[in-house]
Amino acid sequence: MAATGCGPADLGDLLERVCYQGVIVSAGSSVFCRIVTRKGLAAYLEEDYFGEGMLATSSVVQVRVAEVLSLLAVAGAIVALASQISHGERMDGMSGIDRELCGALRDL
């Protein structure tokens, strides 16, 4: 996307929106949990929600990885949008993709 300014051609708009919303919800819940409990999401789940030792180690690792990846996805989206704005792209809709440019590139 950073090179062409267009998203994947085969990714439908509904699926793209659901993916964006999933990242926003997961990153938002992670940040909210850190603000409220002053712990990461994995530590909160393990210590306060399920109880000490109730979650398998692999589950804790998976939650930590998901937390980090969701925050990286948000950071990546901010960088991609900043790149498009700095290059003067006109962005239509939620995805930040110039629909006219992408339509012209796909018609080639």
> Is it the case that residue 1 has pLDDT exceeding 60?
no
Q: List pLDDT tens digits, range 18-58.
A: 877 888 888 888 888 888 888 887 777 777 677 677 777 77
Give me the pLDDT at residue 20, please: 78
Q: What is the pTM of this model?
A: 0.60
As a whole-number percent, the residues of the chain with pLDDT over 90 amount to 0
What DSSP string describes 30-97?
HHHHHHHHSS-HHHHIIIIIS-TT-S-HHHHHHHHHHHHHHHHHHHHHHHHHHHHHHTT---BTTTTB
* 8 A C-beta contact, residue 98 and residue 7: no
- Number of Cβ within 10 Å of residue 53's Cβ equals 9
* All structural domains of the chain with their residue ranges: 13-107
* Geometric angle at alpha carbon 80, from 107 and 26, rounded to 5°: 110
The residue count for the chain: 108
Give me the pLDDT at residue 63, please: 83
Give the pLDDT band of residue 108 (cuts 50, 70, 90): low
User: Distance of alpha carbon 26 from its chain centroid, rounded?
Assistant: 8
